A and B are shown apart, each in its own frame.
Chain A
Amino acid sequence: MLTAEERQEIEAEMARYPTKEAIYIDAMKIVQRHRGWVSDEGIRDIGEMLHASAADLDSLATFYNLIFRKPVGRHVIMLCDSVSCWIMGYERMREHLAERLGIGLGETTADNRFTLLPIVCLGACEQAPALILDNNLHGNLDPSKIDNLLQECQ
């Protein structure tokens, strides 16, 4: 069941668009904001409220990069793998993160602390290599900077 808060936020979105279909994606983002990810139950809850089929919602959820259909850790790292970052040392940063966290791309640490994901160009090419950690951009990365970032996350 959607919480009162989730329901309220979804209803607020409705004022901005002429159709219910237009807020399918936003509704999933709202549920993800509250629950961390969009589970089958989350899809079902949204479907009931907006009269959408689970298949339609899932086809959207799997299309868009920023909707998670699997649980993620407390902190989500999105490491840019596009061309400018690749030139500036993406592979080394990926290897360093993998070594520090003991996981590969698309995985979550056993203590549920970190999820490591690849992401396309973050529009921060002048400070490549770059990543996003919990919605915050960090550029000009090197292994020690990454270590500091990881240390700040509990």
Chain B
Amino acid sequence: MTAEKPLTKDIPADGQALDLTGYERTGGYRGLRKALGNMTPQQVQEEVKNSGLRGRGGAGFPTGVKWSFTPMGTDAPRPKYVIANADEMEPGTFKDRYLMEGNPHQLVDGLILAGYANQADVAYIFIRGEYKVSQERLARAIAEAYSAGYLGKNILNSGYGLEMYLHVSAGRYMCGEETGLLNALEGKRANPRAKPPYPQVSGLWGKPTIVNNVETLANLPHIVEHGAAWFQGLSRTKDSGTKLYGASGKVKRPGLWELPMGTPLREIFEEYAGGMRDGLRFRGVLPGGASTDFLVEQHLDVPMDFTEVAKVGSRLGTGTMIVLDDHTCPVGMTANLIHFFAQESCGWCTPCWSGLNWADHILRAMEDGQGKPGDLEKLEFQTKFWGTGHTFCALAPGAAEPLQSALKYFREDFERHIREERCSFRK
């Protein structure tokens, strides 16, 4: 039996978007009809909790558990908000764009379901400014959903109502951070907020707010329609569902594939991405975007799910791998990553703005042949300083991951840069 691909099987191969008729023909909004007709919000929450769905934005937090903190009932503060985090800016990640461009209604559908489950009044899709095609297609999908009665007051005569707006960001990596996103939506700089209170209790304009990633939301129509047990059965490991996996770098076939959760890294890299281009050898991989630890040859058989990748010292992250080959400089690659994080730091927490900039300078100097003895120890000290608990958000802890693992697995490259006062990969 070929594996099921609920999220991507209906996406047209010609690059066009599935319109409302096409989406309905493939079962679209059927889960919503079922939920509004036969299920209480609590039952939808329960189904999602039982499905084991974990957040696909990178953190892997169980979606049903996240929702369980939303104040429910008539005493709950109003309005309540649900937000689709479509601010895909994790370097190396291009999965949400594919979902939004190919099947925008699937996201709208999922967001309405999240709204119903949490009894939200207003929904925003927070999308990055550069995703023009996604914006046009989502705007059309929202308009179509309104005219078909899936949005607005009294959806499908159920008594439940939801307004949905597309919010186009002005761009900054920090907007993808849950509380940074809330500040951006409120018209402020996208600095993170202290937690607690968590957004479920006090989020957008101080009201209960749920923020979920695009791929997470896209799963909801299928979970509600087919049930938690079906979703559990899609995967190859304990973490449930399918996952959009991707590969970039000098592999034969860079791309994106929906596969059972827990598909081994080696299988994705060799069979789907086709392995390295001719004449190149594999050296390492960031398994799930820029803010995950490098893995190397010995880790290739790890099943790509949240639990198993953590066991070998990295994270599934966004599931889109960036591959390092033996003709690309690991120091240069690390310098590029740290420069990104330093530039995108919002400046709120000292270990982040100060430490990342310091590391950025050290690494650039090293690439330019100005590395000094003691630099590696300074960098190692910094990665510990950026760890969880020292900052308000996950930007600096995320930046520490590629750096600390590069220092571990590619140490001889760093030492050689300092010793030879040059980058030997540059002609």
Contact = CB atoms under 8 A, between A and B. Distances in A.
Interface of A: 16-19, 21-25, 28-29, 59-60, 63-67, 78, 81-84, 86-88, 119-128, 132, 135-137
A24 B133 CA distance: 24
B365 to A, nearest CB: 17
Nearest to A119: B130
Contacts of A121: 89-93, 290, 340
Interface stretch (B27-35, B68-76, B183-191): B183-191
Contacts of B92: 82-84, 121, 125
B135 to A, nearest CB: 10
Chain A interface secondary structure, helix, strand, loop or mixed?
A: mixed
A84 to B, nearest CB: 4
A86 B249 CA distance: 9
A136 B173 CA distance: 20
Contacts of B325: 87
A22 B186 contact: yes
B94 A124 contact: yes
B187 A123 contact: no
Given A83-B340, A126-B255, 15 more contacts: A18-B205, A19-B187, A19-B205, A63-B172, A65-B171, A67-B170, A83-B91, A83-B286, A84-B91, A88-B250, A120-B91, A120-B173, A123-B130, A126-B256, A137-B132
Nearest to B128: A123
8 contacts: A22-B185, A83-B333, A83-B336, A87-B324, A120-B340, A123-B131, A126-B246, A136-B132
B254 A128 contact: yes
A141 to B, nearest CB: 14
Nearest to B254: A126
A66 B187 contact: no
Interface residues of B, number: 54
A21 B188 contact: yes
Contacts of B137: none
Contacts of B322: 83-84, 87, 125
B173 to A, nearest CB: 6
A21 B185 CA distance: 10
Contacts of A122: 130
B377 to A, nearest CB: 25
Interface string B167-183: 11111110000000000
A81 B322 CA distance: 14
Contact of A123 (B88, B168, B185, B255): B88
Contacts of A125: 91-94, 246, 248, 254, 320, 322
B302 interface: no
A24 B256 contact: no
B342 to A, nearest CB: 12
Given A24-B187, A83-B290, A87-B249, A123 B97 contact: yes
Nearest to A135: B132
B255 A63 contact: no
B132 A123 contact: no
A60 B188 contact: yes
Interface in B65-122: 88-94, 96-97
